[in-house]
């Protein structure tokens, strides 16, 4: 099993989850209100799906996706270009000892869901699913 770069234990701590959600909400508000001094970033509608924090809360990785998935690379470039200003604005709304360094990754949740739908619609998978239901009925 591969080691997750965000935590060492079986999963994130309650504190990591709580702080990640606070950062997610604050970052989403900042992006929604256009609080950054970058017209390129302000004209984009970017969804912040999740924020994962490191165990020491010094790093926060935001999983983002522009509305409709269009211009994803342009959105990533704008976020990276403005990460220091975003860090400052986001930290101002939180009561943390350190302002976490922000990192950005494209959220691939919808791509994975599409792939899962595609797999389940495959004729061979449908046959296996039906065979599984017949086995369940026999028990």
Cα distance between the two ends of the chain: 34
Q: How far apart are CA 119 and CA 113, in angstroms?
A: 10
Instruction: Note the pLDDT of residue 100.
Output: 94
Which of 44, 53, 49, 54 shows the shortest CA–CA distance to 76? 44
pLDDT tens figures, 22-74: 999 999 999 999 999 999 999 999 999 999 999 999 999 999 999 877 888 99
Work out the mean pLDDT of the chain and round it to a whole number: 83
CATH 3.90.199.10 applies to domain 1-107: no
Domain assignments of the chain as residue spans, ordered by start:
1-107, 108-139
């Amino acid at each position: 099993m591969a080691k997750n770069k965000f935590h060492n234990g079986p999963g994130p701590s309650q504190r990591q989850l709580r702080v990640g959600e606070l950062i997610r909400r604050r970052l989403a508000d900042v992006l929604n209100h256009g609080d950054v001094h970058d017209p390129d970033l302000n004209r984009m509608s970017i969804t912040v799906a999740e924020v994962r924090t490191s165990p020491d809360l010094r790093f926060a990785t935001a999983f983002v996706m522009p509305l409709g998935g269009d211009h994803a690379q342009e959105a990533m470039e704008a976020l990276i270009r403005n990460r220091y200003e975003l860090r400052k604005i986001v930290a101002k709304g939180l009561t943390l000892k350190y302002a976490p360094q922000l990192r950005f990754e494209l959220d691939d949740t919808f791509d994975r869901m599409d792939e899962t739908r595609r797999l389940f619609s495959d004729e061979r998978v449908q046959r296996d699913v039906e065979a599984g239901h017949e086995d369940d009925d026999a028990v």
